[in-house]
Amino acid sequence: MDILIYGTINSVALALTALGFALVYGISRLPNFAHGALYVVSGFITWSFVRALELPYLLSIILAMMITGIIGALIYQFVLIRVRGMAISEIIASYAIGVAILEGFRWGGFKGMTYTLPVFVEGSFTVRGIPVDYHRVLVVVIGVAVVAFLWLFTHYTRVGLALRGMAQDERASLMLGIDSDRMAVVAMAIGSMLAGLAAVLLLPLGNIVVEAGYNVLILAIAVCIVGGLGSWMGSVMAAFLIGFAQILTVVYLGSHYQMVVALLAIIITLILRPSGLFGRQKELEERV
Protein backbone atom coordinates (compact mmCIF):
# COMPACT_ATOMS: atom_id res chain seq x y z
CA MET A 1 0.00 0.00 0.00
CA ASP A 2 2.74 2.47 0.85
CA ILE A 3 4.48 1.49 -2.37
CA LEU A 4 1.32 2.39 -4.25
CA ILE A 5 0.85 5.74 -2.55
CA TYR A 6 4.44 6.90 -2.59
CA GLY A 7 4.97 5.44 -6.05
CA THR A 8 2.12 7.55 -7.37
CA ILE A 9 3.42 10.67 -5.67
CA ASN A 10 6.95 10.06 -6.92
CA SER A 11 5.68 9.38 -10.44
CA VAL A 12 3.67 12.58 -10.59
CA ALA A 13 6.64 14.51 -9.30
CA LEU A 14 8.82 12.95 -12.01
CA ALA A 15 6.23 13.73 -14.67
CA LEU A 16 6.16 17.36 -13.50
CA THR A 17 9.92 17.73 -13.74
CA ALA A 18 10.04 16.06 -17.13
CA LEU A 19 7.09 17.78 -18.81
CA GLY A 20 8.96 20.99 -19.55
CA PHE A 21 11.87 19.11 -21.11
CA ALA A 22 9.53 16.90 -23.15
CA LEU A 23 7.53 19.88 -24.34
CA VAL A 24 10.53 21.83 -25.58
CA TYR A 25 12.07 18.82 -27.27
CA GLY A 26 8.78 17.73 -28.80
CA ILE A 27 8.10 21.09 -30.34
CA SER A 28 11.41 22.47 -31.45
CA ARG A 29 13.68 19.38 -31.34
CA LEU A 30 15.82 21.22 -28.84
CA PRO A 31 17.29 19.16 -26.02
CA ASN A 32 17.22 21.82 -23.35
CA PHE A 33 20.06 20.82 -21.06
CA ALA A 34 19.59 24.01 -19.06
CA HIS A 35 16.35 22.54 -17.69
CA GLY A 36 17.81 21.65 -14.30
CA ALA A 37 19.32 25.10 -13.95
CA LEU A 38 15.98 26.74 -14.67
CA TYR A 39 14.46 24.53 -11.99
CA VAL A 40 16.94 25.75 -9.39
CA VAL A 41 16.65 29.35 -10.60
CA SER A 42 12.91 29.28 -10.08
CA GLY A 43 13.31 27.85 -6.60
CA PHE A 44 15.84 30.53 -5.75
CA ILE A 45 13.63 33.36 -7.06
CA THR A 46 10.68 32.11 -5.05
CA TRP A 47 12.89 31.84 -2.00
CA SER A 48 14.18 35.37 -2.35
CA PHE A 49 10.67 36.74 -2.85
CA VAL A 50 9.24 34.89 0.11
CA ARG A 51 12.12 35.13 2.55
CA ALA A 52 13.97 38.27 1.55
CA LEU A 53 11.22 40.53 0.19
CA GLU A 54 8.46 38.88 2.22
CA LEU A 55 5.87 38.92 -0.53
CA PRO A 56 2.79 36.69 -0.24
CA TYR A 57 3.62 33.09 -1.09
CA LEU A 58 1.20 32.67 -3.99
CA LEU A 59 2.22 35.97 -5.60
CA SER A 60 5.90 35.13 -5.38
CA ILE A 61 5.30 31.69 -6.91
CA ILE A 62 3.50 33.23 -9.87
CA LEU A 63 6.19 35.90 -10.26
CA ALA A 64 8.93 33.29 -10.06
CA MET A 65 7.30 31.19 -12.75
CA MET A 66 6.91 34.21 -15.02
CA ILE A 67 10.53 35.23 -14.52
CA THR A 68 11.76 31.71 -15.20
CA GLY A 69 9.67 31.64 -18.37
CA ILE A 70 11.20 34.93 -19.47
CA ILE A 71 14.71 33.68 -18.72
CA GLY A 72 14.04 30.59 -20.82
CA ALA A 73 12.71 32.69 -23.68
CA LEU A 74 15.74 34.99 -23.49
CA ILE A 75 18.15 32.04 -23.52
CA TYR A 76 16.47 30.79 -26.64
CA GLN A 77 16.13 34.15 -28.34
CA PHE A 78 19.72 35.25 -27.85
CA VAL A 79 21.77 32.07 -27.75
CA LEU A 80 20.14 28.86 -28.83
CA ILE A 81 18.46 30.30 -31.92
CA ARG A 82 21.88 30.67 -33.50
CA VAL A 83 22.74 27.00 -33.24
CA ARG A 84 19.27 25.75 -34.10
CA GLY A 85 19.32 22.48 -36.00
CA MET A 86 22.90 21.57 -35.04
CA ALA A 87 22.00 18.98 -32.43
CA ILE A 88 25.42 18.72 -30.82
CA SER A 89 25.94 22.47 -30.61
CA GLU A 90 22.49 22.78 -29.06
CA ILE A 91 23.38 20.25 -26.39
CA ILE A 92 26.76 21.78 -25.63
CA ALA A 93 25.50 25.37 -25.64
CA SER A 94 22.46 24.73 -23.45
CA TYR A 95 24.46 22.51 -21.13
CA ALA A 96 27.11 25.22 -20.82
CA ILE A 97 24.43 27.74 -19.88
CA GLY A 98 23.00 25.33 -17.32
CA VAL A 99 26.39 24.60 -15.78
CA ALA A 100 27.23 28.31 -15.71
CA ILE A 101 24.00 29.11 -13.84
CA LEU A 102 24.32 26.23 -11.38
CA GLU A 103 27.99 26.75 -10.61
CA GLY A 104 27.34 30.46 -10.34
CA PHE A 105 24.84 29.72 -7.60
CA ARG A 106 27.31 27.41 -5.89
CA TRP A 107 29.94 30.13 -6.00
CA GLY A 108 27.44 32.57 -4.55
CA GLY A 109 27.43 30.44 -1.42
CA PHE A 110 24.13 28.84 -2.27
CA LYS A 111 24.38 25.51 -0.51
CA GLY A 112 23.55 23.73 2.69
CA MET A 113 20.36 23.42 4.64
CA THR A 114 19.50 27.09 4.98
CA TYR A 115 17.43 27.53 1.86
CA THR A 116 14.00 25.99 2.28
CA LEU A 117 10.56 26.91 1.09
CA PRO A 118 7.48 26.54 3.28
CA VAL A 119 4.97 23.84 2.35
CA PHE A 120 1.63 25.01 1.04
CA VAL A 121 -0.52 23.22 3.57
CA GLU A 122 0.79 21.98 6.87
CA GLY A 123 -0.23 18.71 8.41
CA SER A 124 -0.83 15.19 7.24
CA PHE A 125 -3.36 12.42 7.42
CA THR A 126 -3.08 8.65 7.48
CA VAL A 127 -4.33 6.14 4.97
CA ARG A 128 -4.35 2.65 6.49
CA GLY A 129 -1.63 3.61 8.87
CA ILE A 130 0.60 5.31 6.31
CA PRO A 131 1.15 9.00 6.91
CA VAL A 132 0.69 11.21 3.83
CA ASP A 133 1.07 14.93 4.16
CA TYR A 134 -1.28 17.33 2.46
CA HIS A 135 1.45 18.93 0.41
CA ARG A 136 2.19 15.69 -1.41
CA VAL A 137 -1.49 15.22 -2.16
CA LEU A 138 -1.52 18.75 -3.51
CA VAL A 139 1.45 17.90 -5.73
CA VAL A 140 -0.48 15.00 -7.24
CA VAL A 141 -3.61 17.11 -7.75
CA ILE A 142 -1.73 19.98 -9.36
CA GLY A 143 0.29 17.54 -11.47
CA VAL A 144 -2.83 15.94 -12.88
CA ALA A 145 -4.35 19.39 -13.41
CA VAL A 146 -1.26 20.56 -15.31
CA VAL A 147 -1.32 17.54 -17.61
CA ALA A 148 -5.03 18.08 -18.28
CA PHE A 149 -4.48 21.78 -18.84
CA LEU A 150 -1.64 21.12 -21.30
CA TRP A 151 -3.80 18.66 -23.19
CA LEU A 152 -6.62 21.18 -23.48
CA PHE A 153 -4.18 23.96 -24.35
CA THR A 154 -2.59 22.03 -27.19
CA HIS A 155 -5.88 20.80 -28.60
CA TYR A 156 -8.18 23.81 -28.36
CA THR A 157 -6.20 27.06 -28.57
CA ARG A 158 -4.60 28.67 -31.61
CA VAL A 159 -1.14 28.85 -30.06
CA GLY A 160 -1.41 25.30 -28.79
CA LEU A 161 -2.45 23.99 -32.18
CA ALA A 162 0.39 25.92 -33.80
CA LEU A 163 2.81 24.30 -31.34
CA ARG A 164 1.51 20.86 -32.20
CA GLY A 165 1.75 21.67 -35.87
CA MET A 166 5.42 22.57 -35.38
CA ALA A 167 5.99 19.35 -33.52
CA GLN A 168 4.47 17.26 -36.27
CA ASP A 169 5.88 18.89 -39.38
CA GLU A 170 7.88 22.06 -39.19
CA ARG A 171 7.96 22.78 -42.91
CA ALA A 172 4.27 22.28 -43.44
CA SER A 173 3.47 24.57 -40.53
CA LEU A 174 5.86 27.19 -41.95
CA MET A 175 3.83 27.05 -45.16
CA LEU A 176 0.65 27.63 -43.19
CA GLY A 177 2.07 30.84 -41.78
CA ILE A 178 3.28 29.67 -38.39
CA ASP A 179 6.43 31.52 -37.39
CA SER A 180 8.61 28.64 -36.26
CA ASP A 181 11.11 30.78 -34.36
CA ARG A 182 8.41 32.58 -32.42
CA MET A 183 6.70 29.30 -31.62
CA ALA A 184 9.99 27.86 -30.43
CA VAL A 185 10.40 30.86 -28.11
CA VAL A 186 6.88 30.27 -26.80
CA ALA A 187 7.63 26.58 -26.31
CA MET A 188 10.83 27.39 -24.46
CA ALA A 189 8.99 29.89 -22.25
CA ILE A 190 6.28 27.37 -21.41
CA GLY A 191 8.87 24.65 -20.83
CA SER A 192 10.78 26.91 -18.45
CA MET A 193 7.60 27.85 -16.64
CA LEU A 194 6.83 24.17 -16.19
CA ALA A 195 10.32 23.66 -14.76
CA GLY A 196 9.58 26.57 -12.44
CA LEU A 197 6.24 25.09 -11.43
CA ALA A 198 7.87 21.75 -10.71
CA ALA A 199 10.45 23.55 -8.59
CA VAL A 200 7.99 25.46 -6.43
CA LEU A 201 5.89 22.33 -5.97
CA LEU A 202 8.70 19.92 -5.16
CA LEU A 203 11.30 22.07 -3.43
CA PRO A 204 9.23 22.58 -0.24
CA LEU A 205 9.70 18.85 0.35
CA GLY A 206 13.46 19.32 0.67
CA ASN A 207 16.18 21.94 0.53
CA ILE A 208 17.09 24.08 -2.44
CA VAL A 209 20.51 22.77 -3.41
CA VAL A 210 22.61 23.07 -6.52
CA GLU A 211 22.87 19.29 -6.94
CA ALA A 212 19.09 19.21 -7.40
CA GLY A 213 19.65 20.94 -10.72
CA TYR A 214 21.82 18.12 -12.04
CA ASN A 215 19.58 15.40 -10.62
CA VAL A 216 16.46 16.97 -12.09
CA LEU A 217 18.14 17.14 -15.47
CA ILE A 218 19.07 13.45 -15.34
CA LEU A 219 15.59 12.44 -14.20
CA ALA A 220 13.93 14.57 -16.87
CA ILE A 221 16.15 13.04 -19.56
CA ALA A 222 15.46 9.56 -18.21
CA VAL A 223 11.71 10.05 -18.31
CA CYS A 224 11.77 11.61 -21.77
CA ILE A 225 14.02 8.95 -23.24
CA VAL A 226 12.12 6.02 -21.81
CA GLY A 227 8.86 7.60 -22.93
CA GLY A 228 10.26 8.51 -26.29
CA LEU A 229 11.67 11.93 -27.08
CA GLY A 230 8.90 14.05 -28.45
CA SER A 231 5.98 12.01 -27.19
CA TRP A 232 4.27 13.81 -24.28
CA MET A 233 1.88 11.12 -23.21
CA GLY A 234 4.72 8.62 -23.46
CA SER A 235 6.64 10.79 -21.00
CA VAL A 236 3.78 10.66 -18.51
CA MET A 237 3.63 6.86 -18.77
CA ALA A 238 7.40 6.62 -18.46
CA ALA A 239 7.26 8.82 -15.38
CA PHE A 240 5.00 6.25 -13.75
CA LEU A 241 7.26 3.40 -14.88
CA ILE A 242 10.41 5.01 -13.50
CA GLY A 243 8.63 6.42 -10.47
CA PHE A 244 7.41 3.03 -9.33
CA ALA A 245 10.72 1.38 -10.24
CA GLN A 246 12.50 3.90 -8.03
CA ILE A 247 10.19 3.40 -5.09
CA LEU A 248 10.48 -0.38 -5.44
CA THR A 249 14.29 -0.20 -5.42
CA VAL A 250 14.22 2.12 -2.43
CA VAL A 251 12.02 -0.32 -0.54
CA TYR A 252 13.85 -3.50 -1.49
CA LEU A 253 17.44 -2.40 -2.16
CA GLY A 254 18.13 0.94 -0.51
CA SER A 255 17.96 4.60 -1.43
CA HIS A 256 21.46 4.60 -2.97
CA TYR A 257 20.05 2.93 -6.04
CA GLN A 258 17.45 5.57 -6.86
CA MET A 259 19.67 7.40 -9.32
CA VAL A 260 21.16 4.19 -10.71
CA VAL A 261 17.66 3.14 -11.80
CA ALA A 262 17.17 6.33 -13.79
CA LEU A 263 20.61 6.17 -15.39
CA LEU A 264 20.33 2.50 -16.30
CA ALA A 265 16.85 3.16 -17.70
CA ILE A 266 18.35 5.76 -20.03
CA ILE A 267 21.19 3.54 -21.19
CA ILE A 268 19.11 0.41 -21.67
CA THR A 269 16.29 2.21 -23.46
CA LEU A 270 18.68 3.98 -25.77
CA ILE A 271 20.43 0.76 -26.65
CA LEU A 272 17.32 -1.33 -27.21
CA ARG A 273 14.75 1.15 -28.48
CA PRO A 274 16.18 4.64 -29.04
CA SER A 275 12.78 6.07 -29.90
CA GLY A 276 11.50 5.05 -26.49
CA LEU A 277 8.69 2.79 -25.46
CA PHE A 278 6.00 5.09 -26.85
CA GLY A 279 8.02 7.12 -29.34
CA ARG A 280 6.94 7.62 -32.90
CA GLN A 281 10.14 8.71 -34.53
CA LYS A 282 11.62 7.23 -37.59
CA GLU A 283 14.06 4.44 -36.97
CA LEU A 284 16.55 5.66 -39.56
CA GLU A 285 17.02 9.04 -37.93
CA GLU A 286 18.38 7.63 -34.76
CA ARG A 287 20.34 4.53 -35.59
CA VAL A 288 22.13 2.98 -38.48
Partner 1 sequence: MNTEARRKERLDRGIKVRSEGIYALMSWRELSYLTLPRLVLIIGLLLLPLVMPSMYWQRVISIVCIYALLAISFDFLAHFLGLVSLGGAFFIGVGGYMTAIMNTSFGWPPLLTVPMATVIGAAICTFLLLPCLPLRGVYFAIVTLMYPLALMRIIEALNILGGTDGIMGIDSFANQWIEQYLVILMVLFFLFGLRRLVNTDLGLVMRAVKDNDQAVRASGMSITFYKAVAVFIASGMGCLAGACLVHIYMWAGISLFALDFSILPIAATVIGGGGTLVGPVLGCLILVPISELLRDLGTLRIVFYSLILMAFIVFRSEGIMVYGQRKYHQFQRWVKV
> Which residues would be at the binding site for partner 1 (CB under 8 A)?
31, 79, 82-83, 87-89, 91-93, 95-97, 99-100, 103-104, 106-107, 218, 221, 225, 254, 256-257, 259-260, 263-264, 266-267, 270-271, 274, 285-288
Torsion sign over Cα 114, 119, 122, 124: negative
Q: Between 93 and 146, name the residue whose CB sits nearer to partner 1.
A: 93
b/e sequence 252-268, b meaning 16+ C-beta within 10 Å: eeeeebbeebbeebbee
CB 221 to partner 1: min, Å: 6
Minimum CB distance to partner 1 smaller for 51 or for 273: 273
Q: Do 161 and 155 contact (CB within 8 A), yes or no?
A: yes
Q: From the CB of 37, what's the least distance to partner 1, in Å? A: 11
| CA angle, residues 51, 55, 61, in degrees to nearest 5 | 85
Task: Give me the count of residues in the chain.
Answer: 288
Comparing CB distances to partner 1, the nearer of 162 and 221 is 221
Q: Could you give the angle at which helices 57-78 and 35-47 cross, rounded to 10 degrees?
A: 150
Calculate the CA dihedral of residues 162, 167, 169, 174 and round it to 10 degrees. Answer: 40
Determine the Cα–Cα distance for residues 35 and 15; give it in Å rounded to an integer: 14
Toward partner 1, which CB reaches closer, 55 or 91? 91
Which of residues 37 and 187 has its CB atom nearest to partner 1 in the complex? 37
CB atoms within 10 A of CB 200: 25
Rounded least distance, CB 253 to partner 1, Å: 8
Burial 132-162 (b: 16+ CB within 10 A, else e): bbebbeebbebbeebbeebeeebeeeeebeb
Least CB distance from residue 175 to partner 1, whole Å?
Answer: 26
Backbone φ and ψ of 127, nearest 5°:
-115, 115
> Could you tell me the smallest distance in angstroms from the CB atom of residue 10 to partner 1?
18
Q: 280, 230 in Cβ contact below 8 A?
A: yes
Q: How far is the CB of 96 from partner 1 (least distance, A)?
A: 4
Least separation in angstroms between CB 184 and partner 1: 16
Residue closer to partner 1, measured from CB, 10 or 269: 269
Nearer to partner 1, 251 or 260 (CB): 260
